[in-house]
Amino acid sequence: MYSLTDLSKRDLEVLFDHIQAAIALVDRDGNLISWNSAFDIGKRQFPNANNLKDLFLQKDADALHLKLREGEKEHWAGEFAITETDAASLCDFWLVPTVHDHFIFIAERIESEADAEKMVEKLRKQVDLYRVESEFSKKLARNKQIEMEAVLAQAEEVAHVDPLTFLPNRRTIIKDLQSEVMRAERYRSLFSISVVDIDNFKSINDNYGHPVGDEILRQVAIQLRDGIRHPDVVGRYGGEEFIILLPNSDKNAAAEQAARLCRSIRDEVMHSREYSLQVTISIGIAQFRLGEDSWHSLLKRADNAMFEAKSGGRDRWVVGD
């Protein structure tokens, strides 16, 4: 059996060009990357439009901006310039996140009254479901309400916490990074980040086994968490990599912290099962450049600095350019 993953890029382009719905690939800011022939029909009316938001009314463009920033799968209805005339059409929209922080935008024109009624009925069912759930929760006994709130709180925590290290997980630390960049831009404040990587971690897994490697990850996470100041935040970025956010801190403050963390990790003897191990870390640092950096470019500079620390001998820190 074949799947979409078996199709080449050219096959997908041909497939999308034979779909009547307007389809476009955009980045998190809404900038247009590529689109199919159905989307191009509407875009011809706006030749200078380089951003998806340019094809919406202002109020709808603001709502689209929020949807892109939230990064979730979205489904809604509204007006869109999908035809060869300059009149907007009522459309059924989908916004689907993909890899590399991109989104697939789909606009399918609602051409008949029956289509419109189906869309309205679908929205009504969603509203009715919300109402039923709300009324049901009001009728719960107080102890059941408390129990439900506890379960919801646990679910919320699980969704944001890395289960191995109990630090904020990748998705959460990236959202926090994006928020701190927006805050630094708005208030013109200092902000730095550090990317931390455990040196030679693969050899630990290979020589001692993954359970030992997991225990080393947990112990390093504790060291990092306890070694930073408030309001700094550390999260697990993935594998043996961590990200530290340092609000209101310049690169010099981040370097002082990195030197302290390198020393504390190096001096700590970590125990797992019958083994006693000493590990080191490499840290890359980048300070946010107002008017130049995005969250992605800031993270990339710190990541490059971390690899520079690795190539320089490990067990050290480097401030990125």
Active site amino acids: 240
Phi, psi dihedral angles at 37 (to 5 degrees): -65, -35
162 with 236: CB under 8 angstroms?
A: yes
* Token representation of residue 16: 């999308």
End-to-end CA distance of the chain: 49
Tokens 């340019």 sit on residue: 54
Query: CA-CA distance, 234 to 157, in Å (whole number)?
Result: 16
Half-sphere exposure (CA, 13 Å, Cβ side) for 112? 3
Pairing state of beta strands 317-319 and 281-287?
A: parallel
Query: CA-CA distance, 33 to 24, in Å (whole number)?
Result: 7
Q: Which helix (H) or strand (E) holds 91?
A: strand 89-97
Phi, psi dihedral angles at 271 (to 5 degrees): -110, 135
Half-sphere exposure (CA, 13 Å, Cβ side) for 2? 4
16 with 23: CB under 8 angstroms?
A: yes
